[in-house]
Each structure stands twice: as C-alpha cells, then as structure tokens.
C-alpha cells in the first residue's frame, strides 16, 4: 500500500478534509546579555551634570539665593532692633556712652575720652574697675584739648580722684547742659593700666 504525502493546506487524497496549516514558532536572536552569561545588569544612564555642567550651576544659584536671604534677614533685624548691643549689655535706659564689656588698655601717660552733649541736667552712671588704678574726669572740650597737647589735666569740672587698682567704682556724676568729655586717664608714671566696665556707662536725664 503506497503512502501519499500530505502538503499543509491541501486536501488529502480521497478525503474531504482540509488539513490545518502548520504553525512554526520561531524565537528572536538572543540578546547580548543572554549570549554572555557573565554580563551583569545594565548600568543606568549616567547624569550629564558633571564638572561645570548644569547641575553645578544650579547648586551655585541655590547657594547665592540662600546667602542673599540671610543678608536680607540680618538687615531687617538690624532695622527693627536698632543699635546692636555688645554681649552682656545691661540694657540700661538712657544714652549709652560706654557699652558694658568694653575694655581700655592705657599705657603710661595715656587716656581715653568720650564726647557727649547734654540738653538738660543729666546724670552719668556706670560701674568699672582697673588693673593698676585710673582717674576719671569730666572736662570741657577746651580742657580736653589741653590734656591732648600737654598730657596733663590742669583744669576740670569733676574728677573721681585716683581709683585704686581692683576697686569696683560706681560712677554717679551730675552734669549741666553743654558739651563735655568723659576722660579716663592712666595716673601712673611707671606702668600701664587696664579699665573694664561691668555695666553700661549711661547718660540719663534727671
């Protein structure tokens, strides 16, 4: 008995049936990763923001904006608060002539003067001491100029006398309307002295 070849899609001899077409499944060529078992997971795309690229530029922009904001806040705070007082300031009322925490270093024959103007009778108050003595004066501008030229006080309106070293001295001086100089003078002829203030030296109207 002979065999008849069957061609897909054609009728088989002697039968009324049509054979279903044969479906052939094919696969795509293997990827490079599949071909190479040692290949790892593909790396994610690298950012182009390296060196001086856009990323670094954005960082600089953020930094500049932050610094500008801080500067603005400092200026606003200064405008609201007013005078910036030193650390440890007592917050005394009145006009501050010498802030708390100030220090004077006076060599032999040296002095330090603070000019101020009074429109009505006022008091000068404050606390200080010295390492090797000091003498305080209230002088007119002319008397202070004489001190500047000669190095000596010939005339004065008021003086504390020589305040001994390590003595805490409380200023309490009344001054009349006018222009004045509060002078701290080293009275020593052989060594320097230092003056430290424990409270604001202030001018308060009486």
State the CATH number of the domain containing residue 122.
2.60.120
Q: Does a structural domain hold residue 21? A: no
Q: Does a structural domain hold residue 201? A: yes
Cβ–Cβ under 8 Å, residues 150 and 141: no
Eight-class DSSP state of 94: S
Among 203, 194, 117, residue whose Cα is nearest residue 163: 194
Please report the pLDDT score of residue 61 as a whole number: 74
Q: Does a structural domain hold residue 179? A: yes
Please report the pLDDT score of residue 74 as a whole number: 43
pLDDT in tens, 27-66: 444 444 444 444 455 555 554 444 455 555 677 777 777 7
- Mean local confidence (pLDDT), 103-107: 96
Q: How many domains does the chain have?
A: 1
pTM equals: 0.56
Q: Does a structural domain hold residue 137? A: yes
Q: Does a structural domain hold residue 126? A: yes
Nearest-Å Rg of the Cα atoms of the chain is: 47
Give the Cα separation of 163 and 5 in Å (integer): 135
Q: Does a structural domain hold residue 53? A: no
In the numeric block, the tokens 């202070």 are attached to 144
Q: Does a structural domain hold residue 6? A: no
Give the Cα separation of 182 and 167 in Å (integer): 19
Cβ–Cβ under 8 Å, residues 86 and 99: yes
Q: Does a structural domain hold residue 189? A: yes
Q: Which structural domain range is residue 132 located in?
A: 112-205
């Amino acid at each position: 008995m002979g065999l008849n070849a069957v061609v897909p899609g054609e009728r088989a001899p002697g039968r009324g049936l049509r054979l279903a077409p044969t479906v052939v499944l094919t696969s795509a060529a293997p990827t490079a990763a599949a071909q190479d078992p040692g290949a790892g997971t593909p790396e994610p795309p690298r950012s182009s923001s390296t060196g001086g690229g856009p990323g670094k530029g954005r960082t600089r922009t953020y930094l500049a904006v932050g610094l500008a904001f801080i500067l603005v806040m400092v200026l606003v705070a200064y405008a609201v608060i007013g005078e910036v007082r030193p650390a440890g300031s007592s917050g005394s009322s009145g006009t501050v002539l010498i802030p708390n925490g100030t220090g004077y270093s006076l060599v032999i024959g040296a002095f330090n003067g603070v000019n101020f103007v009074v429109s009505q009778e006022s008091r000068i108050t404050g606390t200080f001491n010295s390492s090797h003595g000091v003498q305080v004066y209230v002088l007119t501008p002319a008397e202070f100029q004489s001190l500047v030229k000669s190095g000596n006080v010939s005339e004065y309106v008021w003086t504390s006398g020589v305040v001994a070293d390590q003595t805490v001295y409380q200023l309490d001086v009344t001054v009349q309307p006018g222009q004045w100089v509060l002078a701290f003078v080293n009275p020593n002829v052989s060594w320097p002295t230092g003056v430290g203030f424990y409270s604001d030296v202030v001018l308060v109207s009486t």
